[in-house]
Amino acid sequence: MKEKSMKKKKQGAFDIIIVVILTIMALITLFPLYYVLIVSVSDPESIANHVPYLWPHVFDFESYKVVFTEGKFVKSFMNSVFVTVVGTLVNMTLSVFGAYALSKKKLVGRRFFLTLIIFTMLFSGGMIPFYLIVNSLKLNNTLWSMILPCAINTFYLIIMKNYFMSIPESLEDAARIDGANNIQILLQVVLPISMPFIATFMLFYSVERWNEWWNALLFINESDYQPLQIYMREILVNFNNQLSPQAQAVVGQGQRANFQAIQMATIVVSTLPILCVYPFVQKHFVKGMLVGSVKE
């Protein structure tokens, strides 16, 4: 009896240690993001004093006003919205069609197509040939350069294929007997029962498109077609080395508000969409990955 209660106590201590460790880690993860938020709503004076603080002394939303009235910010924000919406649509159409077709074991040439696709995960042409090919397709300085070259994520495609394979064939057979063709079956039978799964990948893709910056850096040099991430790079990263034209424009406009507050406000506004979809992504990604990892 005594032994049992002692054991329980020991485990209790262990549980507390775990919670303490995890809480510290969570705080380390959250603090920088929290601080960004705090600085973005602080008045320039408290920021200028360089004192780390946990709560703004004076609330000041001037920096948000500056961000939203800055023409380049609004323009690049709209570009990112376009790329995300259209890009995700393209991503999903190609991925669903491709994954569904490849999930049919009877498809002649299936092995060949799969090998062709999986090989690209192991070997690629690299930066320069990719750059030259996309340029030669006249995609540079268009929003399509952020959509078409990344129209398919091979990893997602394979997971989706594995998922479609896990759907029992008998579900489709009934529709097939009624004379439905493959496209009708996909749209009317398979997709409706796969909605949670499809939605997960839609969110994955949309986060990816929203976060797209590398293709933009390679292919876009006219500020009219810049996405938000490149605008952010200009005012956040390049600012460190020298004042870029974009950064100067902001500084000029933001007479009163401190530039740092503007930087942080830009971060908050651009991260907000991700924060909004994050709970839904988080709810499903483990499930999505698990279903997909079932080997054929």
Partner 1 sequence: MKRIEKVVLNPELKKRNRQLMWRQIRNDKLLYLMLFPVILWYLIFCYLPMGGLSLAFKTFRYDTGIWFSPWNGIGHFKEMFSDDLFWRALKNTLVFAGGKLLFLFPIPIILATILNELRSNKLRRIYQTILTFPHFITWVVLSGILISFFSSNGVVNGILSIFNMPAITPLSTVQYFRPFIWLSFLWKELGWDTIIYLAAFAGIDPGLYEAASIDGANRFQKMIHISWPGIRGTVCIMLILAAGSLMTSGASFDQVFNLYSQPVYEVADTIDTYVYRASFGMGMNLGYTTAISFLKSVINIILIVIANKIVTKMGEPGLY
Q: State which of positions 98-127 bind partner 1 (CB under 8 A).
A: 98, 100-102, 104, 106-108, 113, 116-118, 120, 122-127
User: Which of 195/276 has CB closer to partner 1?
Assistant: 276
Given candidates 6, 9, 15, 74, which one binds partner 1 under the rule CB under 8 A?
15
* Calpha distance 294→165 (Å, rounded): 10
Residues with Cβ within 8 Å of residue 231, at least 6 apart in sequence: 72, 73, 76, 246, 266
* Nearest distance, CB of residue 120 and partner 1, angstroms: 4
Among 30, 58, 171, 187, binds partner 1 (CB under 8 A): 30
Task: Please give the size of the binding site for partner 1, defined by CB under 8 A.
Answer: 87
Give the C-alpha separation, 277 to 65, whole Å: 24
Return the DSSP state at 59. B
Q: 245: exposed, middle or buried (C-beta count within 10 Å: 0-12, 13-18, 19+)?
A: exposed
The distance of closest approach from Cβ of residue 195 to partner 1 in the complex, given in angstroms and rounded to an integer, is: 19
Applying CB under 8 A, among 88, 140, 233, 250 the residue interacting with partner 1 is 233
CA distances from 245 to 170, 217, 235, 262 (A): 62, 16, 9, 15
Q: Does 16 bind partner 1 (CB under 8 A)?
A: no
Closest to 76 in 3D by CA, of 262, 210, 223: 223
**Of the candidate residues 141, 211, 244, 253, the single one contacting partner 1 (CB under 8 A):** 211
Closest distance of CB 15 from partner 1, Å? 6
Per CB under 8 A, the list member of 6, 9, 97, 173 interacting with partner 1 is 97
- In the complex, the smallest distance separating the C-beta of residue 6 from partner 1, rounded to whole angstroms, is 12
Interaction pattern, residues 143-162, with partner 1; x per rule: CB under 8 A? -----xx-xx----x-----
Q: Is 223 in the site for partner 1 (CB under 8 A)?
A: no
Among the listed residues 6, 9, 16, 22, the single contact to partner 1 using CB under 8 A = 22
Contact 162, 292 (CB under 8 A): yes
Chain residues 53-92 in contact with partner 1, contact rule CB under 8 A: none
Q: In the complex, what is the shortest distance from the CB of residue 296 to partner 1, in angstroms, rounded to a whole number?
A: 12
- Residue 253 CB, shortest distance to partner 1, in Å, is 19
The reply to whether 278 sits near partner 1 by the rule CB under 8 A is yes
Q: Is 21 in the site for partner 1 (CB under 8 A)?
A: yes
Find the binder of partner 1 among 78, 137, 171, 187 (CB under 8 A): 137
Nearest approach, Cβ of 282 to partner 1 (angstroms)?
A: 5
Using CB under 8 A as the binding rule, the residues of this chain from 246 to 265 that contact partner 1 are 260, 263-264
Mark out the alpha helices in the chain (DSSP H runs): 2-40, 44-48, 62-69, 71-102, 110-122, 127-136, 154-166, 169-177, 182-185, 191-193, 195-210, 214-219, 228-232, 238-241, 245-253, 259-292
Gyration radius (Cα) of the chain, Å: 25
Structure tokens at 237: 């990263």
Q: How buried is 110 (Cβ within 10 angstroms: 0-12 exposed, 13-18 middle, 19+ buried)?
A: middle
